[in-house]
């Protein structure tokens, strides 16, 4: 079919061009007819290819995602796909999401099976345009898996060879020569962002580095090995290689390295690796340690809020929705508390007030976001919150539904916790921890005692942009709204 298309299109174009030339300008283009006609043919042949086998890549489902896990393939090999149809379910660092195809075609080969992981941008499947291309796609998938396995084996010798290179220069030469043909196969260089940064920093030609990651992906360890830098893995390998010649002398360094890294597990204990979500939470918590924070606590009387809650509870309104609405209304009056500082050189006044609320789910923690909470009706806000919680627990949240928060609310009061401090999430200016409302004896100005319900809220804030007076004013406004909650239902 491609050959007939190529034969018909240029012929028609040449005929129309020559007829128009001969009719209107027979003398001007007589010497240029051949030179003008022939250059047009290659231009028309360039976009025409004999086969189109497209790769289905691992998508970046969030800004913090570096790799994804294949939960399940919705389609099987040989299934006909339409543009926009779900093909595979991928587990990101926050949720399970359906991945759609951008083209029509046939799922010719699955490169990454269910339960396996792949870095962002790596091919996970191959899409063929016709049935005749399926065998070619399967051969291409087999070649990819073969190159990835060889890439995982061949880079293993260079780390030990790079460290003793000054003493024994001969062994690295044949190893490098043997590993080089493996890197000459693929024309596209796939490397992690940190590996590219290391290569630029140490002036290493990343095109000559053989990747040991999935599908030949170049990792930071590969770049360190090429630069002759001793990484933690290479140090462990060198210590292991030095152990057999001198077992007596090698024992103390081995014990020292073990004590320096992690203590041995206790007898009967079990080591459980992080899930994708737990890894993301761990990374964010470590990142938050670089931000200078301070904390301010404030007691709030909740009798009026409790009375309002009893009235609106039968209508489906939750306490979380009430607190989120009150917080958003207070932030509207104190925009600096809703601001963010990401680079340490400037800060941003956010145009939207998006309240992220921490939710504990099986295997981790996630913060669904109530967007424009200050502008939304209380009943619609509560309905939206219920939908977000259901999607969070089924791991079906979209990225904009959990990474667009400008202020975070964490409520452990429902568990009876009277007070606690929350860790500031990266990219936000403040987070408020809400404790339980409990009966408290209060003395008024005349010396009379009464019992009122009070809760203690603690706000953790970024001290680079928010100061103590800012938080005090914000909390005072928040307390007034809670003590006079009629404005929440307007």
Band (pLDDT 50/70/90 cuts) for residue 41 is low
- The torsion angles phi and psi of 89, rounded to 5 degrees, stand at -105, 125
Say if CB 236 and CB 256 are below 8 A apart. Answer: no
Using the predicted structure, report yes or no on whether residue 259 has a pLDDT greater than 70.
no
Q: Tell me the three state secondary structure of residue 239.
A: helix
Work out the angle between the directed axes of helices 303-312 and 319-333 (0-180°, nearest 10).
Answer: 130
Q: Tell me the three state secondary structure of residue 462.
A: strand
Using the predicted structure, report yes or no on whether residue 23 has a pLDDT greater than 50.
no
How many beta carbons lie within 10 A of that of residue 344, not counting itself?
Answer: 10
Report how far residue 126's alpha carbon sits from residue 128's, in angstroms, rounded to the nearest whole number: 7
Of 43 and 463, which is predicted with more confidence?
Answer: 463
List the structure tokens of 95.
């949720």
- Nearest Cα neighbor of 374 from 387, 355, 388 is 355
Using the predicted structure, report yes or no on whether residue 59 has a pLDDT greater than 70.
yes
| Per-residue pLDDT tens digits for 87-122 | 888 887 667 778 888 888 888 888 888 888 888 888
- Nearest Cα neighbor of 93 from 465, 365, 353, 486 is 365
pLDDT value at residue 46:
52
Among 41-50, 75-84, 263-272, 289-298, the range scoring the smallest mean pLDDT is: 41-50
List the structure tokens of 474.
């914000």
Mean pLDDT across 20-29: 41
- The torsion angles phi and psi of 386, rounded to 5 degrees, stand at -60, -40
- Residue 97 CA neighbour count, 13 Å, CB half: 18
- Nearest Cα neighbor of 49 from 106, 4, 7, 2 is 2
Pairing label, strands 430-434, 407-411:
parallel
Domains of the chain: 54-141 (2.40.50.100), 292-488 (3.30.559.10)
**Hey, which residues are catalytic here?**
463
For residue 445, give every residue at least 6 positions away whose Cβ sits within 8 Å of its Cβ, in sequence order, or none.
none
Most confident segment among 5-14, 255-264, 394-403? 394-403
Distances (CA, A) of 252 to 201, 234, 326: 35, 18, 61
How many beta carbons lie within 10 A of that of residue 145, not counting itself?
Answer: 14
pLDDT value at residue 134:
81
Pairing label, strands 293-301, 86-91:
unpaired
Mean pLDDT across 300-322: 94
Among 138-142, 234-238, 451-455, the range scoring the smallest mean pLDDT is: 234-238
| Per-residue pLDDT tens digits for 412-437 | 998 999 999 999 999 899 999 999 99
Tokens 């009379």 map to which residue? 448
Work out the angle between the directed axes of helices 2-24 and 33-45 (0-180°, nearest 10).
Answer: 150
* pLDDT, averaged across the chain: 77
Report how far residue 51's alpha carbon sits from residue 136's, in angstroms, rounded to the nearest whole number: 9
- Nearest Cα neighbor of 337 from 362, 374, 308, 310 is 374
Among 21-30, 43-52, 408-417, the range scoring the smallest mean pLDDT is: 21-30
Of 326 and 446, which is predicted with more confidence?
Answer: 326
List the structure tokens of 467.
């100061």
Report how far residue 438's alpha carbon sits from residue 302's, in angstroms, rounded to the nearest whole number: 9
Residues in the chain: 490
Cα four-point dihedral sign 462, 473, 323, 435: positive
List, in sequence order, every residue forming a beta bridge with 461; answer none if it has no partner: 294, 430
For residue 17, give every residue at least 6 positions away whose Cβ sits within 8 Å of its Cβ, in sequence order, or none.
36, 37, 40
Of 52 and 409, which is predicted with more confidence?
Answer: 409
For residue 418, give every residue at least 6 positions away whose Cβ sits within 8 Å of its Cβ, in sequence order, or none.
435, 436, 438, 456
What is the DSSP secondary structure assignment for residue 465, as one 8-state letter?
T
What is the DSSP secondary structure assignment for residue 26, as one 8-state letter?
T
List the structure tokens of 175.
């190893």
Using the predicted structure, report yes or no on whether residue 474 has a pLDDT greater than 90.
yes
Most confident segment among 216-225, 277-286, 472-481? 472-481
Q: Tell me the three state secondary structure of residue 261.
A: helix
E strand or H helix at 379? helix 378-393
């Amino acid at each position: 079919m491609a050959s007939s298309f190529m034969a018909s299109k240029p012929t028609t174009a040449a005929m129309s061009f020559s007829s128009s030339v001969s009719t209107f300008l027979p003398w001007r283009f007589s010497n240029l007819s051949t030179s003008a006609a022939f250059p047009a043919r290659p231009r028309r042949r360039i976009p025409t290819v004999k086969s189109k086998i497209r790769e289905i890549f691992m998508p970046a489902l969030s800004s913090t995602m570096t790799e994804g896990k294949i939960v399940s393939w919705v389609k099987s090999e040989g299934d006909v796909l339409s543009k926009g149809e779900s093909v595979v379910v991928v587990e990101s660092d926050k949720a399970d999401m359906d991945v759609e195809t951008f083209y029509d075609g046939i799922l010719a080969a699955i490169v990454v099976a269910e339960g396996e992981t792949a870095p962002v941008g790596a091919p996970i499947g191959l899409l063929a345009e016709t049935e005749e291309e399926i065998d070619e796609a399967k051969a291409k998938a087999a070649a990819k898996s073969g190159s990835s396995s060889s890439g995982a084996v061949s880079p293993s010798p260079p780390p030990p060879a790079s460290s003793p290179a000054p003493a024994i220069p001969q062994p690295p030469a044949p190893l490098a020569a043997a590993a080089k043909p493996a890197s000459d196969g693929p024309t596209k260089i796939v490397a992690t962002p940190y590996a590219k940064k290391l290569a630029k920093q140490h002036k290493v030609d990343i095109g000559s580095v053989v990747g040991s990651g999935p599908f030949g992906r170049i990792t930071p360890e590969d770049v360190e090995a090429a630069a002759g830098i001793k990484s933690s893995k290479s140090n462990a390998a060198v210590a292991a290689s030095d152990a057999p010649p001198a077992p007596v002398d090698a024992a103390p360094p081995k014990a020292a390295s073990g004590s320096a890294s992690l203590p041995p597990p206790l007898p009967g204990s079990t080591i459980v690796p992080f899930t994708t979500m737990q890894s993301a939470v761990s990374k964010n918590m470590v990142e938050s340690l670089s931000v200078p924070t301070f904390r301010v606590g404030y007691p709030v009387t909740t009798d009026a809020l409790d009375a309002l809650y009893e009235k609106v509870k039968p209508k489906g309104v939750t306490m979380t929705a009430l607190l989120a609405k009150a917080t958003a209304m207070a932030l509207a009056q104190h925009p600096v508390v809703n601001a963010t500082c990401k680079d340490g050189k400037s800060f941003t006044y956010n145009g939207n007030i998006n309240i992220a609320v921490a939710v504990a789910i099986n295997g981790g923690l996630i913060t669904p976001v109530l967007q424009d909470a200050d502008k939304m009706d209380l009943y619609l806000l509560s309905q939206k919150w219920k939908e977000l919680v259901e999607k969070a627990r089924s791991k079906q949240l979209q990225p904009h539904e959990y990474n667009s928060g400008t202020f975070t609310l964490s409520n452990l009061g429902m568990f009876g916790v009277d007070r606690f401090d929350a860790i500031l999430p990266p990219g936000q200016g403040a987070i408020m921890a809400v404790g339980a409302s409990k009966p408290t004896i209060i003395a008024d100005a005349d010396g009379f005692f009464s019992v009122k319900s009070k809760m203690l809220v603690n706000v953790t804030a970024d001290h680079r942009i928010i100061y103590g007076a800012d938080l005090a004013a914000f909390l005072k406004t928040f307390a007034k709204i809670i003590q006079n909650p009629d404005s929440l239902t307007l």
